[in-house]
Amino acid sequence: MVTPELKNKTSEKYYYEDGRRFNSSVRYILPSDKEENARLLEQHLCFKNLLDGNYLAPVKQQLEKGIPVLDSACGYGASWTVEMAKDYPNSQFFGVDISDGFPAKGRAPINTSFSIGNVAKEIPSPDNTFVFAYQRLVFAALTGEDWDNNLREMYRVIKPGGFVQLLEHNLTPYSEGPLFTEACKLMEQGFESENFIFYISTELKDRLENAGFINCVTKITEYPVNHGTNGDSNWRALRGAFKGASPLLTKFFTGGDGEGKYDRFLDAVGNEVTEYRSYVKFYTIYAQKPFIDQQK
């Protein structure tokens, strides 16, 4: 499903900052290393618990029968790809990511394959390949133009009648105190400095429809931070993102430059969100590519 001529098209280089490894071939504010892999795995379990499953699109029967599935920007470790491949052994799963942190051969299910690719520019697959495509949390890597390219590419590689599902955070704080408000503002400033769209979650439906998709369904889920069911895991995953993005975010941090001050600030945020029972939201939206007779 991934064409050989495109498989190694994107070269990859790294740089290191604050002891973390970052990918220098794309504008992505989070690291690409083993520590991030552990965070992504915990984050994957957070989303699975909150959504009571790995997907919402109406593709269960097709997955059981066997279909080609794309995990776009599958991430270091490809947690969703691997788990879905185990759950649906008759389907074939194809993970694409800008980094090469894919599961080692022999550790991933035999119905998986992986390829390096920049999904903001091009998905390395032929037209009308996949029945289901999944993508989450790329808002820390895509500009508005990138989103337009990405969704056009999604539309291109999905078969008529197939589905796409997107999941993105909305880091507007609710039931918030001043520290959590400051933390979310830091992330917003970081996004703006990179020309990323901080509130892309609220634009997904319109952007999918502009790309040609129909039958959009949106679910908005509260993400409790450091309180309630799984709140501690939710906070660890979110705190890890704030920490991983620290080389960018500390440029806007006004709490001082001394060693450890940013870490102590994040610790204080963790205590505050427990006291205030704060939460953010994330948006899950799925949509369908029209059948040929429905296409304009």
Domain boundaries, the chain: 4-8+30-294
Tell me whether residue 25 is exposed, middle or buried, using C-beta atoms within 10 angstroms of its C-beta: 0 to 12, 13 to 18, 19 or more: middle
- Looking at residue 7, what is its pLDDT? 36
- pLDDT > 70 fraction of the chain, expressed in percent and rounded: 93
* Eight-class DSSP state of 212: T
- Section 96-101 average pLDDT: 86
The DSSP result for 126-164, as a single string, is -TT-EEEEEEE--TTT-BHHHHHHHHHHHHHHEEEEEEE
- Looking at residue 294, what is its pLDDT? 66
pLDDT at 16 over 80: yes
- Looking at residue 254, what is its pLDDT? 85
pLDDT at 259 over 50: yes
- Looking at residue 33, what is its pLDDT? 86
d(CA 226, CA 272): 9
Query: 140-155 pLDDT, tens per residue?
Result: 889 999 999 999 999 9
The pTM of this model reads 0.90
Query: 54-81 pLDDT, tens per residue?
Result: 999 999 999 999 999 999 999 888 999 9
- Section 175-194 average pLDDT: 95
Q: How confident is the model at residue 14 (pLDDT cuts 50, 70, 90)?
A: confident
Query: 226-252 pLDDT, tens per residue?
Result: 999 899 999 999 999 999 999 999 999
Contact predicate 77/37, CB 8 Å: yes
Query: 117-141 pLDDT, tens per residue?
Result: 999 999 999 999 999 999 999 998 8
d(CA 34, CA 9): 24
Low-confidence winner among 22-31, 216-225, 263-272 (lowest mean pLDDT): 22-31
d(CA 225, CA 211): 34
pLDDT at 10 over 50: no
CATH topology of domain 4-8+30-294: Rossmann fold (3.40.50)
For the chain, the average pLDDT equals 91
Long-range contacts of 87-90 (CB under 8 A, 24+ apart): 87/54, 87/63, 88/63, 88/64, 90/63, 90/64, 90/65, 90/66
Contact predicate 99/23, CB 8 Å: yes
Q: How confident is the model at residue 292 (pLDDT cuts 50, 70, 90)?
A: confident
The DSSP result for 39-103, as a single string, is HHHHHHHHHHHHHTSS--SS-HHHHHH--EEEEET--TT-HHHHHHHHH-TTSEEEEEESS--PP
